[in-house]
């Protein structure tokens, strides 16, 4: 599927990513991986809803514990999803973003856009 990655850097010896490149594989359900494969605190998938972005799936942990691969709609966190997964539709350009906590702030690690070839119902 279409993949447009953003910032590329490393995680060195840190326990989280502060910059990464996201790859999206969506042969069936989108799978998100990132390089370097450092843990992040959250992932949000948005659909465009001018003038802003509208989340269609969101997971967030208080710690950087989310590691790749991450399958759309399947939260690896025991607390589940902040925003439950919505149906993905062809013809819409979705944005996926990764986040980490920097003290009390949530910072973006990376972003990418993707599309799907067919309707993807949440798992």
Which distant-in-sequence residues (6+ apart) come within 8 Å of 106 by Cβ?
A: 41, 42, 99, 100
Name every residue whose Cβ is closer than 8 Å to that of residue 31 and which is 6 or more positions away in sequence.
24, 25, 69, 70, 71, 72
- In CATH, the number for domain 21-114 is 2.60.40
Tens of pLDDT along the chain (123 residues)? 333 333 334 444 455 677 899 999 977 899 999 999 999 999 999 998 877 789 999 999 988 899 999 999 999 998 888 999 999 999 999 999 999 888 888 899 999 999 999 999 988
């Amino acid at each position: 599927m279409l993949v447009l990655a953003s910032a590329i850097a490393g995680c060195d010896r840190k326990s989280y990513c502060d910059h990464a490149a996201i790859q999206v594989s969506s042969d069936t359900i989108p799978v998100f991986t990132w390089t370097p494969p450092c843990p992040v605190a959250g992932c949000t998938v948005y659909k465009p809803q001018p003038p802003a972005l509208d989340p269609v799936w969101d997971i967030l942990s208080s710690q950087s514990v989310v590691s790749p691969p991450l399958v759309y709609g399947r939260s690896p966190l025991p607390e589940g999803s902040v925003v439950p997964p919505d149906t993905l539709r062809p013809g819409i350009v979705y944005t996926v973003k990764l986040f980490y906590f920097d003290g009390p702030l949530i910072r973006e690690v990376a972003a990418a856009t993707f599309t799907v070839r067919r309707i993807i119902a949440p798992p």
